[in-house]
Structure 1
Amino acid sequence: MAQEFSRVVEDVKQLSTAEKEELQELLKRYLIEERRREIEENYKTSLGELRDGTPTFSHDPDTLGSALSAN
């Protein structure tokens, strides 16, 4: 995977400025779409927990950090 990534990076270096800018915009959109899917999945999980009566709430920063890093 690292070699493949390195190859992609080298290929990107060879692109024109306009192509690099277009690639940047595409990546930005892909990341936004990915984050939206993640938010939707978290919403569905939370909604299911709420319906089941199993949501967990905490004000403890350590507990919150553990819960967030588990996802």
Structure 2
Amino acid sequence: MSFSDVVEAIKTLSLPEKEKIQALLAQYLREEKREEIYENYLVSQGEEQSGNLKFSSDIDELMHSLED
């Protein structure tokens, strides 16, 4: 089923069904964002443990590290 097929199918739903779809999508998006944040946390935790994560309050140093 293509994206356009899904969109067309949603158009035929009743208002309460569309609202339920909206609520489910919001929930799924929250869950995916939480999972992404958690995965990023695990990566940064690994980088910190391996010594690859650097902290600095020096703006010039931070800008230089972004260029690398």
Interval containing the TM-score (normalised by the shorter chain):
0.7 to 0.9
Question: Within 2, Cα distance between the matches of 1:13 and 1:51?
Answer: 50
Matches within 5 A, 1:12-31: 12-31=10-29
Letter in 2 for 1:13: K
Out of 1, 7, 10, the position equivalent to 2:8 is 10
- TM (norm. structure 2) is 0.79
Matches within 5 A, 1:1-71: 4-56=2-54, 59-60=62-63, 63=66
CA RMSD of aligned residues (A): 1.9
Instruction: Quote the offset at 1:59 in angstroms.
Output: 2.9
Q: Greater Rg, structure 1 or structure 2?
A: 2
Deviation at 1:55, TM superposition (A): 1.3
What is the one-letter code of the residue matched to 2:16? A
Unaligned runs of 5+ in 2: 56-60
| Cα distance in 1, alignment partners of residues 53 and 43 from structure 2 | 9
> What is the number of residues matched between the two proteins?
60
Shift of 1:56: 4.6
